[in-house]
Amino acid sequence: MSELRALYQEVILDHNKHPNNFRKIENADREAEGYNPFCGDHYTLFLKLNEEVIEDISFIGSGCAISKASASVMTTVLKGKTKEEAGRLFETFHTLVTGHLNGSMDELGKLAVFSGVSEFPARVKCATLAWHTMQNALKSKEAKTTVTTE
């Protein structure tokens, strides 16, 4: 049960029930779809950019608790960050959920609640779906993109 509790921490369950930034952004600069056909997680991410800075970020859609909480926390953390900072945070987050994080959890801040995911390899894709979608949206020259994992 302890590993389960580490995965399904209260913070994650709260974000799942009451996600932050769970809305559309009208006139978004980027709109990206993230889809995991293996489990049916399906989200749309909206980004409002000001040059290099993520001015606003939001999402809608449905999926498991891990994927939804991850999207919620990600949008909370990335608001106001630069594109480059977002990319770096994704790298750190990825090493965290895959169990490869060397060094301190300090820079992770709110993202640290996902440390339990590394004990559940089948759920890594759930935790990273929103991040992959975000990354794809930022890198793409198109306003609308789609990411499919699995």
Partner 1 sequence: MLFDVERVRKDFPILNQRVHGNPLVYLDNAATSQKPRVVLEAMKRYYETVNSNVHRGVHYLSEQATADYEHARTKVQRFINAPHVHEVVFVRGTTEGINLVAQSYGRKNVEKGDEVLISGLEHHSNIVPWQILCDEKGARLRIVPINDSGEIVLEEYEKLLNNKTKIVSLGHVSNALGTVNPIKRMIATAHRFGIPVLIDGAQGVPHMKVDVQDLNADFYVFSGHKMFGPTGIGILYGKTEFLDAMPPFQGGGDMIKSVTFEKTVYNDLPYKFEAGTPNIEGAIGMGAAIDYLHEFDWNSVSAYEADLLSYATDSVSVVKKLRLVGTAAEKAGVLSFVIDGVHPHDVGTILDREGIAIRTGHHCAQPVMQRFGVPATARASFAFYNMKSEVDTLVKALYKVNEVFG
Residues near partner 1 (CB under 8 A): 1, 3-5, 7-8, 13, 17, 38-42, 62-66, 120, 122-123, 126
105 touches 130 (CB < 8 A): no
Report the alpha-carbon distance of residue 69 to residue 123 in Å, rounded: 13
Question: At closest approach, how far in Å is the CB of 39 from partner 1?
Answer: 5
Least distance in angstroms from the C-beta of 4 to partner 1: 5
Q: CB nearer to partner 1: give 49 or 64.
A: 64
**Judged by CB, which is closer to partner 1: 64, or 101?**
64
Min dist. Cβ of residue 81 to partner 1 (A): 28
**Which one, 22 or 120, has the nearer CB to partner 1?**
120
Residue closer to partner 1 (CB basis): 51 or 122: 122
Closest CA to 72 of 82, 62, 83: 62
Dihedral sign from CA coordinates of 136, 59, 122, 148? negative
Rounded to a whole number of angstroms, the minimum distance from the CB of residue 64 to partner 1 is: 4
Q: What's the Cα-to-Cα distance from 104 to each of 69, 80, 112, 134, rounded to whole Å?
A: 22, 23, 10, 24
- CA torsion, points 109, 77, 66, 46, in degrees to nearest 10? -170
